[in-house]
């Protein structure tokens, strides 16, 4: 059943002036219903990154992104990774809201069922819209990364943020949450609460990571300038995907919905 959220949710966030309680107000809700992807909101990223001088998407990934690997089915957006029958490469999918929707601060969340199998790297993340500086000077926020290098990785969730200087002077923050069972066993609600001075990652309402402006010193905090857009993708191999396993193919990442909210003062009358 599709979960539709309306109204306000009480939060305990540093965003509130003088510790005042803040609430959320929905700015985007994508339920992935109907027969085709809403291209007024989403665009397909196509290729292997080489046309952007970023072959392997900068992470030695093995997939070629194609729009045919994105479909809507049973109220989900499905990203399918598979071995191409005719060409010697893997195909998968990646969708973005770049140049169509971006927001600075707020709650970004998605209900996702990651795929089973080694060699896969599903992700839900944010990047600065209309960037003016070289990565990672304006930051990157990774809400969900499930690595796939070994059996332990299948039980591991990563929340991360990238900042620092231009490569090779870049750095990052990462927190790992390891379960006694695999993340692909069920859907989970992955979210980040982003305020002027803080990022808080949660899964199924449970906080598992927190990064503050103070934590990034001596580097500049880059998360107070640009609005960020939303990305959903399923990589094959790569830095966190590891060795590609043909027995894992085909594989599917299911996304029930994406929701974005802004933080507003709570109204006692609501």
**What is the per-residue pLDDT across 168-195, written as a single tens digit (0 to 9) for each?**
999 999 999 999 999 999 999 999 999 9
CA distances from 149 to 144, 146, 173 (A): 16, 10, 20
Q: Is 247 among the catalytic positions?
A: no
Residue 207 known to be catalytic:
no
Domains of the chain (ranges; CATH) run 30-265 (2.60.120.200)
Catalytic residue among 61, 109, 145, 252: 145
pTM: 0.93
pLDDT at residue number 268: 62
Q: What is the pLDDT of residue 71?
A: 98
CA dihedral 13, 14, 18, 22 (to 10 degrees): -30
Beta bridge pairs of residue 263:
24
3-state secondary structure the chain: CCCCCCCCCEECCCCCHHHCCEEEEEEEEECCCCCCCCCCCCEECCECCHHHCCHHHHCCECEEECHHHEEEECCEEEEEEEECCCCCCEEECEEECCCCCCECCEEEEEEEECCCCCCEEEEEEEEECCCCCCCCCCCEEEEEECCCCCCCHHHEEEEEEEEECCCCCEEEEEEEEECCCCHHHCCEEEEEEEECCEEEEEECCEEEEEEECHHHCCCCCCCCCCCEEEEEEEEEEHHHHCCCCHHHCCEEEEEEEEEEEEEEECCCCC
Selected catalytic residue, list 30, 140, 198, 252: 140
pLDDT < 70 stretches in the chain? 1-20, 268-270
- pLDDT at res. 84: 86
């Amino acid at each position: 059943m599709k979960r539709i959220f309306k109204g306000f949710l009480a939060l305990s966030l540093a965003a509130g002036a003088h510790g005042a309680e803040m609430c959320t107000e929905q700015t985007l809700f994508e339920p992935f219903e109907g027969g085709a992807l809403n291209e007024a909101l989403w665009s397909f990223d196509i290729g292997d990154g080489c046309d952007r001088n970023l072959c392997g998407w900068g992470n030695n990934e093995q997939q070629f992104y194609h729009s045919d690997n994105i479909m809507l089915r049973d109220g989900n957006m499905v990203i399918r990774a598979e071995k191409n029958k005719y060409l010697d490469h893997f195909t998968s999918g990646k969708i973005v809201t770049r140049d169509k929707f971006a927001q600075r601060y707020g709650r970004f969340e998605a209900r996702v069922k990651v795929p089973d199998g080694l060699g896969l790297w599903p992700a839900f993340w944010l990047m600065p819209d209309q960037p003016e500086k070289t990565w990672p000077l304006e930051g990157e926020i990774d809400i969900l990364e499930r690595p796939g290098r070994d059996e332990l990785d299948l039980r591991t969730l990563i929340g991360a943020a990238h900042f620092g200087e231009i490569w090779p002077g870049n750095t990052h923050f990462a927190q790992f949450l390891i379960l006694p069972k695999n993340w692909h066993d069920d859907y989970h609600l992955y979210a980040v609460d982003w305020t002027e001075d803080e990022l808080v990652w949660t899964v199924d309402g449970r906080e598992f990571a927190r990064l503050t402006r103070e934590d990034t010193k001596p580097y500049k905090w880059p998360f107070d300038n640009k609005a960020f857009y939303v990305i959903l993708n399923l990589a094959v191999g790569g830095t966190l995907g590891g060795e590609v396993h043909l027995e894992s193919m085909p594989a599917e990442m299911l996304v029930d919905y994406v929701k974005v909210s802004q933080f507003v003062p709570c109204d006692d009358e609501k």
